[in-house]
Amino acid sequence: MTLLRDDALSAAFDHASRSYDRLTAVNPGYHRQLRRSAHRLGLPHDGTGLRVLDLGCGTGASTAALLDAAPRARITAVDASGGMLARARAKSWPSNVRFVRAPAEALAEHGVAGPFDAVFAAYLFRNLSDPDPVLGAVRELLVPGGRFAVHEYALSGRGAHRAVWYAVCAGIVLPAGALTGDRALYRHLLGSVTAFDTAPAFGERVRRAGFTRVRVLPVSGWQTGVVHTVVAAAPGAVA
């Protein structure tokens, strides 16, 4: 299965942005699990005085999850898709949130500079051509001990969970893509998950990138074994 990358993937998300929120709204637990992963960052004091990067914010669901976890943090929300960002910006946000269009691989070139106290990345890393340089860049953007959480479709490695993912795609995801005219993007979703690291392997990838205190945590509901939170910290003093 051919995967979409870089400009082709951004263009596919641009096209899908008009129906994206409606489709995620019918996914049981989608927003609840995003909030849970954001809370797993463990940001103190409602985020007061903290700078947080929402890397790959899409239409803003992950941004809303961060606000639930740290309503007073200064959040920079970044995405490569102009269409997805336009949907995000059209929503109502407090003054401590700003949106920037930038690919994850070229943040500095688009004015996104640290240091950040925390980085949250939802549904991003399996879409990258090479996750390792981005992990390294994230580590450099964080303050010593800064917190990092990835919320991602990363399978457990067990055959039963892979079967669940195929069944969900066959019964729901691919038909939805056909109805909305976004067949290529949702075929990419299927293939990007099966081609990506298992959750334990991604945890090891994060550890190799120089992060400490790496943990791989499950989510609940039908997504158990399909979606995981990987939490970690930049080396140095605890933030």
Name which CATH class applies to 27-156+197-233: alpha beta
DSSP strand E in the chain: where? Answer: 51-55, 74-79, 97-101, 116-122, 142-153, 212-218, 227-233
Contact 72, 48 (CB under 8 A): yes
User: Who contacts 175 (Cβ-Cβ below 8 Å, separation ≥6)?
Assistant: none
Contact 120, 66 (CB under 8 A): yes
The predicted pLDDT at position 26 comes to 86
Question: Crossing angle for the helix pair 183-195 and 159-168, nearest 10 degrees?
Answer: 180
- Round to whole Å and give the CA distance between 57 and 71: 16
What's the chain's length in residues? 239
The predicted pLDDT at position 77 comes to 98
The predicted pLDDT at position 237 comes to 74
The predicted pLDDT at position 34 comes to 98
- Round to whole Å and give the CA distance between 237 and 239: 6
- Longest Cα–Cα distance in the chain: 50
Q: Tell me, yes or no, if the pTM score tops 0.95.
A: yes
Per-residue pLDDT of the chain (239 residues), as tens digits, is 679 999 999 999 999 999 999 999 888 899 999 999 999 999 999 999 999 999 999 999 999 999 999 999 999 999 999 999 999 999 999 999 999 999 999 999 999 999 999 999 999 999 999 999 999 999 999 999 999 999 999 999 999 999 999 999 999 999 999 999 999 999 999 999 999 999 999 999 999 999 999 999 999 999 999 999 999 999 997 65
The predicted pLDDT at position 1 comes to 61
